[in-house]
Structure 1
Amino acid sequence: MKAEIVAVGTELLLGQIVNTNAQYLAEACAGIGIDVYYQTVVGDNVDRIVSALRIASERADIVICTGGLGPTMDDLTRDALGIHVGAELVMDEDGMRKIEAYFAERGAVMVESNRRQALTLAGADVLPNDTGMAVGTALRRDGKLYVLLPGPPRELKPMFDRYAKPWLRANMNDALPLFSKSLKFAGIGESGLEHALLDLIESQADPTIAPYAKEGEVMIRLTSRASSEAEAFAKMADTEAEIRRRVGDHLYAEEDVSLDAVIVRLLRERGATLAAAESCTGGLFADMTTSHPGSSEAFAGGIVSYSNAAKTALLGVPKALLSGPGAPGALSAETAASMAEGARTRLGTTFAVSFTGVAGPGPSADGKPAGLVYLGVAEEGKATEVRELKLSGSREIVKLRACRAGFYELWKRLR
């Protein structure tokens, strides 16, 4: 069945709050076999809400509304649905008793407008609100299903899970739920991944193949409709095997997890440790690493050595590398190698990574271009390697891409 989510609230249109409810509901609907084809946002105006409901009901079987069920005069979703389907507003007595008890227990005066939160539509089923006061509404009319949910996520989520979802299942035609599996890749761009899988994507049916990109990471989501997760994964097996055959060298996870999280897990599993020596990334690599629980078991520390003096004093980088006749300079492969080796030796770790380069936005004082970064990787018992990166983007993006490259180099050694 096709659904449309209609989010009501002028604050959404003004960008004052983010519509996280739509994301939650779309995913929850997919899990019970409902395809969300459209999402609409409309302000607190009864005529515009009625119009949005009319359009939604013309192109969807299910209309799910969020917001506009509160006590104030601009909470108009119930009124608009009543106009749209020709039903009058009625009081839900159980909801009203709950509201009255709430104020009585606190010794507070209940203003008359609070009664609006107990209103529903004649002929509708009431969806109780276990975490708030505004009741929800579930209505079947002219072959369409309508669900009204409160806007606050702490009220909407339990109401949908406990009451709206069972109501929808009971009133829907038989529909198979969707199941998805995520495959995460690193060291390959979205266009490169898509090119490698283009014929599979163009001929997809069930399962479907959808690529998604984040900074430094790409994800493939396989999705299938089936009666169980095991059945869905069995339908995906051949497609997944072909994807692995083509681009398996870049596959780092079978779930939607960041590469830095995987690095921390792999280090812990192997009893290995990591240090960082950062110049142009300014501590971002260390911050990304330590954002994951358990990172203290694997990450010994990081040294932000921005100046030449700090590189020498903290990491032991020879002055002859940094300045003077014939010196390669701070922004060089030689300095990156020395930084990585210094960090690993001084912190006594299995691995160390280093970053030195030009984050931008302009070139360095000696004319080296923005985005030029040298990434060093030192490993106990092995020769230090340095990779030259030529990155694009803003200063922040260059720093992030350099860190992502560092995690990728570590992953190649740890996998």
Structure 2
Amino acid sequence: MSIKAEIVAIGSELLLGQIIDTNSAWIANKLSDVGINLYHKSVVGDNQHRMFSTLDTAFQRSDIVITSGGIGPTKDDITREVVAEVVGRQLVRDQELLNDIEKRFRSRGLIMSANNEKQADIPQGSIPVFNPNGTAPSFIVEEEGKVIISLPGVPSELKWLFENEILPYLVKKFNLSEIIISRVLKVSRMGESMVDDKIGFLIEESQNPTIGLLAHPGQVDVRITAKAKNNEQALNLINPVEDKIRKILGEYVFATDDQNISDTIQDVFKEKGQTIGVYEDITSGLISQELQISSANSFIGSVVLGKNNQTNDINSQFSHQLSSEKSNDPVDFTKRAARFVMEFFGTDISLAVHGVIKDSNKVDNLGNGTTFFVVTDGENIVSDQYNIAGFGLSDRKRLTIYALDTLRRFLLKS
């Protein structure tokens, strides 16, 4: 039996952008742990008509509806009233919940105001869920084999209630015996459309496991998701598909799951024990920052020239030496920059990244120009270039990943 769930986040502050809805993403992840399919997520403001429409639609098409927010003591906290309307029940005051709320106020030396009493109101016949971390109890409404679960919007309260009360209830209620497991392959130097062109036939054929793509600046995630009774069975479904994708995409896959490009490079540096110096301009220090965090023992130093170049001894020496070697060839400039930092810092290898912007249009993504990459150990050299150059954050992140992936390939082959 396939159980369909839906999440409805409630609160006008979410629609106004004053608060980011992190609760729904967290709940979604927890639902997959017990094999519940999440088909819809929505956000609705504190308006009774729109809340009713949203929740009624959700309840018609889903087995489990989980709401977050709107069960506090104020006038605009109307989730309990709307849930009662959806299932056609009256609100009743639960004395045990009320006693628990009063006890919490007394334990802090406070007098409970009258408006807090409404937090003990739940739809008739529903299951009260005590909240040990706050004054807003949760409740579960069962109706014709379906359930509506209303949780507080405060993340710490919601998470405790969900893990300790709601998940065990759902597992027992729906006799859940499956889990959902995902494997993510991270791909660089290929756009989403190119990845789709190469493995699209696998995506079309996929059922269990399913395959999906997600693009980020500089990388594409290939997610393989399987549903099975246990972790071992899920991995048995995932592994053959992963092998097929790896054979097709080859060295373009640079990391898996929670790994990033810096983690991969860190592992190679530890194995080889090499040191590195960096020159960068278009990326404004992002490459150096990544290497300093991930590979501090191998990263010796860098020359960083950006839009607002800072004058210091290293930059002055760099500028003097390269300006004395007249050349308008950006590839040659990048090679000389790589040679300079390797000699200056006395490192085993060096990485140089040089961007040439073709116009002055201020864009944050896919700036017009070319960026050149060089990695060398003095004997061997790898160079590459991409038709992107811009100081926007998305471009700098993208080019940083490209640069580090060029370094990764060099380290693995050297």
Using structure 2 for the length normalisation, give the TM-score: 0.89
Give 2:108's match in structure 1, choosing from 99, 106, 109.
106
Q: Look up the SS of the partner of 1:412 in the other structure.
A: helix
CA 301–91 in structure 1, closer or farther in 2 if over 3 Å, else same: farther
Are residues 207 and 99 of structure 1, via their aligned partners in 2, closer, same or farther at CA, if it must alter by over 3 Å? Answer: same
Q: 1:196: how far off?
A: 1.2
C-alpha distance in 2 between matches for 1:309 and 1:357: 18
From 29, 49, 54, the equivalent of 1:27 is 29
Q: How does 1:160-309 map to 2 (within 5 A)?
A: 160-174=162-176, 176-290=178-292, 292=293, 295-306=295-306
Distance 2:213 2:323 in 1: 44
CA distance in 2, matches of 1:191, 1:354: 29
Structure 2 residue matching 1:277: 3-state secondary structure: strand
Task: Tell me which of 353, 359, 362 is aligned to 2:360.
Answer: 362
Pair 1:37-2:39 in alignment:
yes
Q: Which amino acid aligns with 1:382?
A: E
> In structure 2, how many angstroms separate the alpha carbons of the residues matched to 1:242 and 1:313?
48
Matches within 5 A, 1:308-387: 313-314=314-315, 316-317=317-318, 319=320, 321-322=322-323, 327-329=326-328, 332-359=330-357, 362=360, 370-379=368-377, 381-387=378-384
Look up the SS of the partner of 1:407 in the other structure. Answer: helix
Q: 1:238-261 CA deviation, whole Å, 9 max, x = no partner?
A: 222211221122122221332123
- Structure 1 residues 62-81: aligned runs within 5 Å: 62-81=64-83
CA distance in 2, matches of 1:274, 1:112: 66
Counterparts in 2 of 1:360 and 1:62: CA distance versus 1, 3 Å:
farther
Cα distance in 1 for residues equivalent to 2:242 and 2:379:
35
Aligned to 2:364: none
Mapping 1:127-138, distance limit 5 Å: 127-138=129-140
Deviation of 1:317 after TM superposition, in Å, equals: 4.2
Cα contact 2:6–2:40 (8 A) shared by 1: yes
Where structure 1 has 5 or more consecutive residues not aligned to the other structure, the ranges are 364-368
- Give the fraction of aligned pairs with identical amino acids, expressed as a percent: 31
CA shift for structure 1 position 14: 1.4
- Asked if 1 retains the 8 angstrom alpha-carbon contact of 2:6 and 2:64, the reply is yes
Answering whether residue 414 of structure 2 is matched by residue 412 of structure 1, we say no
Q: 5+ unaligned residues in a row in structure 2: which ranges? A: 362-366
With over 3 angstroms needed to count, the CA separation of the structure-2 counterparts of 1:356 and 1:393, relative to structure 1, is closer
SS in 1 for 2:296: helix
**Which residue pairs with 1:366 in the alignment?**
none
Using the TM superposition, name which of 64-73 and 387-396 deviates more: 387-396
Distance 1:34 1:130 in 2: 26
* 2: CA distance, partners of 1:165 / 1:255: 25
In the alignment, the residues of structure 2 paired with residue 392 and residue 289 of structure 1 have an alpha-carbon distance, to the nearest angstrom, of: 21
**What is the CA–CA distance in structure 1 between the aligned matches of 2:224 and 2:154, rounded to whole Å?**
31
Q: Comparing 296-305 with 3-12, which one deviates more in the overlay? A: 296-305
Larger CA deviation: 340-349 vs 403-412: 340-349
Shift in Å, 1:281: 2.0
Please, what TM-score do these two structures have when normalized by structure 1? 0.88
CA contact (8 A) 1:82 1:89 kept: yes
Question: Is 2:93–2:122's contact at 8 Å kept on the other side of the alignment?
Answer: yes
SS of alignment partner, residue 235 of structure 1: helix
Please list the CA deviations of residues 348-376 of structure 1 after superposition, one character each: whole Å capped at 9, or x if unmatched. 3333212222356528xxxxx94222222
Code of the aligned partner of 1:328: S
Q: Residues 359 and 395 of structure 1 are in contact (CA less than 8 Å); yes or no, is this contact kept in structure 2? A: no
Query: Using a 3 Å threshold, how does the CA distance of structure 1 residues 145 and 253 change in structure 2: closer, same or farther?
Result: same
Alignment check: 8 A CA contact 1:21 1:153 kept:
yes
Q: Which moved more, 1:243-252 or 1:154-163?
A: 243-252
Contact 1:352 1:378 (8 Å CA) reproduced: yes
Per the alignment, in what secondary structure is the counterpart of residue 267 of structure 1? helix
Offset of 1:274 from its aligned partner?
A: 2.7
What amino acid sits opposite 1:300 in the alignment? I
- Give how far 1:27 is off: 1.9
2:65 paired with 1:59: no
Q: 1:37 to 1:373 in 2, by over 3 A?
A: same
1:315 touches 1:342 (CA, 8 Å); kept in 2?
no
Counterpart Cα distance in 2 of 1:145 and 1:318: 68
